[in-house]
C-alpha cells in the first residue's frame, strides 16, 4: 500500500490502470542513471597525431551501467535531458591540453588551453544535453594535446539523468 501511494505521488498517472503502473515502474527503474569516472593513475596521456576517445578506467559510480569503460562511451538508456561535467588537468608545460565533448558524431564543445603556467593548468565544463535513447556521449583527446590524471583524480567525467522526456 505504501509503495502504491508513493508511486501515485511520484507519477499521478499511475493510480488508474495496471499497465500505467507497470509502465511507470519501468520508467522509474530505468531513470536511475548516474556515473562518475576518473581517467587513469598513469600520468600524462598523449600527445598523439590523431584524436582518441578517452577511456576513463576508474569507476566511482555507475548507476544503470550506462558508462562503458572499455569503449569510453556513455549510452543513454532512455530519452531525456542529461547533465554532463568534466575536468581536465595538465602538468606538461608548453603543451596544449583538454578535451572535446561529443554527442554521437557531433562536437558539442571544445575545451582546451595551452599550459603556459609554471606547473599545473586545468579546465572544466558542464552542460545539459537532450538525448534520444541509444545516443552516445564521450570525451575525445584532440590530436597533439595531452591530458593528465593520477591517484588524486584530477581528470574526471560525470553525468546523470535530470528528467526523462
Ligand atoms: Ca594558458
* Residue with the larger pLDDT of the pair 62 and 7: 62
* Same structural domain, 23 and 44: no
Q: Near ion ligand 1, which residues have CB within 5 Å?
A: 113-114, 116
* Same structural domain, 88 and 25: no
* Same structural domain, 142 and 102: yes
Distance 154 CA to ligand 1 centre (A): 17
Give me the count of residues in the chain: 165
> What does the block give as the cell for 52?
582518441
- Structure confidence at residue 117 (pLDDT): 77
* Same structural domain, 26 and 81: no
* Residue 125 confidence (pLDDT) above 70: yes
Expressed as residue numbers, the domain containing 47 is: 35-164
* Same structural domain, 17 and 90: no
Which residue from 149, 163, 153, 144 is spatially nearest to 50, judged by alpha carbons?
144
The mean pLDDT value for 154-161 works out to 97
* Same structural domain, 39 and 26: no
Cell 569516472 belongs to 37
Grade residue 123 by pLDDT with cuts at 50, 70 and 90. Answer: very high
Q: What is the CATH number of the domain that holds 58?
A: 2.60.120.40
The mean pLDDT value for 85-96 works out to 94
Grade residue 4 by pLDDT with cuts at 50, 70 and 90. Answer: low
* Same structural domain, 7 and 45: no
Q: What is the CA radius of gyration of the chain?
A: 19
* Same structural domain, 141 and 98: yes
Which residue from 150, 140, 93 is spatially nearest to 120, judged by alpha carbons?
93
Grade residue 53 by pLDDT with cuts at 50, 70 and 90. Answer: very high
Distance 146 CA to ligand 1 centre (A): 13
Distance 15 CA to ligand 1 centre (A): 57
* Same structural domain, 6 and 68: no
**150: phi then psi, degrees, rounded to nearest 5:** -150, -165
Dist CA 11 CA 8 (whole Å): 5
Q: Is the bond preceding 47 in cis, omega lying within 30 degrees of 0? A: yes
* Same structural domain, 58 and 121: yes
Grade residue 119 by pLDDT with cuts at 50, 70 and 90. Answer: confident
Dist CA 140 CA 146 (whole Å): 11
The mean pLDDT value for 71-75 works out to 98
* Same structural domain, 56 and 2: no
The mean pLDDT value for 16-34 works out to 76
Domain count, the chain: 2
Distance 164 CA to ligand 1 centre (A): 38
* Same structural domain, 70 and 14: no
* Residue 141 confidence (pLDDT) above 70: yes
DSSP letters for the chain:
-HHHHHHHHH-GGGGS-HHHHHHHHHHHHHT--EEEEE--SSEEE---SS-EE----EEEEEETT-EETTTTEEE-SSSEEEEEEEEEEE--TTSEEEEEEEETTEEEEEEEEE--SSS-EEEEEEEEEEE-TT-EEEEEEPTTEEEEE-TT--SEEEEEEEEE-
* Residue 107 confidence (pLDDT) above 90: yes
Amino acid at each position: 500500500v505504501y509503495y502504491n501511494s508513493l508511486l501515485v505521488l511520484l507519477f499521478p498517472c499511475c493510480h488508474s490502470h495496471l499497465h500505467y503502473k507497470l509502465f511507470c515502474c519501468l520508467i522509474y527503474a530505468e531513470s536511475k542513471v548516474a556515473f562518475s569516472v576518473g581517467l587513469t593513475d598513469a600520468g600524462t596521456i598523449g600527445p598523439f597525431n590523431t584524436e582518441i576517445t578517452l577511456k576513463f578506467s576508474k569507476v566511482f559510480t555507475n548507476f544503470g551501467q550506462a558508462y562503458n569503460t572499455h569503449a569510453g562511451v556513455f549510452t543513454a538508456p532512455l530519452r531525456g535531458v542529461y547533465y554532463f561535467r568534466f575536468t581536465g588537468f595538465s602538468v606538461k608545460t608548453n603543451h596544449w591540453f583538454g578535451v572535446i565533448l561529443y554527442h554521437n558524431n557531433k562536437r558539442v564543445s571544445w575545451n582546451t588551453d595551452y599550459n603556459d603556467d609554471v606547473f599545473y593548468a586545468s579546465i572544466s565544463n558542464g552542460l545539459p544535453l537532450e538525448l534520444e535513447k541509444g545516443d552516445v556521449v564521450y570525451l575525445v583527446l584532440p590530436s597533439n594535446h595531452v591530458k593528465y590524471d593520477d591517484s588524486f583524480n584530477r581528470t574526471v567525467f560525470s553525468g546523470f539523468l535530470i528528467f526523462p522526456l
